[in-house]
């Protein structure tokens, strides 16, 4: 029985390796597949490039316009990241305040929700009046759209500290500040990073909205100019560049999350951490 048991263990390990390889390759396969279907559909049904350009046409446009695409993507990335970082700082502070004080929560929450319900595209003209078209309205729109999920998540993490643990620490003479520093903040970190993944992607939405309304540069501006010239392949090229930037920033957020709050996933993805039995 021994040799066959060893063989089957090896086969199981091999199957697990194959599965992991498949998991890593899958996103690329899906993306490649989508572009293939898209290309085939456009050719098969003879769709005009100004309705839906084929991926090959978009790629051609990307190569041709790589310089403006790159410089405008850079401008968008800059405004988005600055707005996002503002949102992280502000969101953390406000989240801690709301999560640790019922008074602040009761006082501010309705206003925050009202504020978050306002479509940000309606705020851009006001920002333009205040700051002029261009850089600042884009930064601030990215900020306004992305701070809310951060606030809500950080506040939730802090407000849901187990009452028994709070009692243990309070009985030892811990101040509210001690409890937040030792328990509340570390506890809210998984929530915080989960919100960063949402926040960074919506930050792009914010800055691009602002750029399409009032700006002299940025991917949003480029797409607006391209569509006014009926250069639909370039519009799509802008969309794809935006998507790539979003995925890249998301990946950065996930990497930081895995490095700092691995405990929150309880080592399920890491067999080295499992104790077994």
Query: Which of residues 109, 186, 198, 240 is near another protein by CB under 8 A?
Result: 186
C-alpha distances out from residue 211 to 121, 142, 214, 229, Å: 10, 11, 5, 17
Among the listed ranges 133-141, 197-205, 240-248, 269-277, the one in contact with another protein (CB under 8 A) is 269-277
Query: Which of residues 178, 197, 246, 258 is near another protein by CB under 8 A?
Result: 178
> What is the number of other CB atoms lying within 10 angstroms of the CB of residue 3?
7
User: Does residue 183 bind another protein (CB under 8 A)?
Assistant: yes
Distance in Å, CB of 180 to another protein, minimum: 13
The site string for another protein over 157-176 (x = CB under 8 A, - otherwise) reads -----x-xx-xxxxxxxx--
- CB-nearer residue toward another protein: 63 or 273: 273
- CB-nearer residue toward another protein: 68 or 186: 186
The dihedral built from the CA positions of residue 168, 172, 176 and 179, taken in this order, carries a sign that is negative
List all residues 6 or more positions away from 136 whose beta carbon is below 8 Å from its beta carbon.
127
Distance in Å, CB of 188 to another protein, minimum: 11
List all residues 6 or more positions away from 253 whose beta carbon is below 8 Å from its beta carbon.
193, 196, 197, 200
Chain-centre distance for alpha carbon 122 = 23
Q: Which residues bind another protein (CB under 8 A)?
A: 162, 164-165, 167-174, 178, 182-183, 186-187, 189, 261, 263-264, 266-267, 273-275
């Amino acid at each position: 029985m021994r040799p066959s048991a060893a063989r089957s263990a090896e086969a199981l390990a091999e199957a697990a390796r194959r599965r992991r390889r498949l998991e890593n390759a899958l996103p690329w396969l899906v993306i490649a597949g989508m572009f293939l279907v898209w290309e085939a559909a456009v050719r098969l049904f003879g769709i005009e490039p100004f309705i839906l350009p084929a991926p090959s046409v978009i790629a051609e446009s990307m190569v041709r316009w790589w310089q403006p695409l790159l410089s405008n993507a850079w401008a968008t990335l800059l405004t988005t990241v600055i707005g996002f970082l503002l949102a992280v700082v502000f969101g953390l502070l406000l989240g801690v305040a709301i999560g640790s004080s019922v008074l602040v929560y009761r006082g501010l929450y309705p206003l925050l929700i009202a504020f978050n319900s306002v479509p940000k595209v309606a705020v851009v003209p006001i920002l333009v009046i205040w700051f002029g078209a261009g850089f600042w309205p884009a930064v601030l729109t990215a900020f306004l759209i992305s701070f809310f999920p951060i606030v809500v998540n950080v506040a939730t993490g802090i407000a849901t500290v187990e009452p028994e643990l709070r009692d243990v620490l309070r009985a030892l003479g811990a101040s509210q500040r001690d409890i937040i520093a030792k328990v509340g903040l570390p506890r809210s970190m998984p929530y915080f990073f989960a919100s960063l993944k949402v926040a960074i992607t919506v930050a792009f939405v914010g800055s691009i909205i602002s750029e399409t309304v009032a700006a002299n540069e940025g991917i949003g501006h480029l797409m607006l100019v391209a569509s006014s010239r009926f250069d639909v392949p370039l519009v799509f090229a802008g969309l794809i560049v935006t998507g790539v930037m979003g995925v890249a920033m998301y990946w950065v957020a996930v990497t930081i999350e895995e490095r700092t709050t691995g405990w929150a996933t309880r080592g399920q993805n890491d067999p080295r951490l499992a104790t077994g039995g």
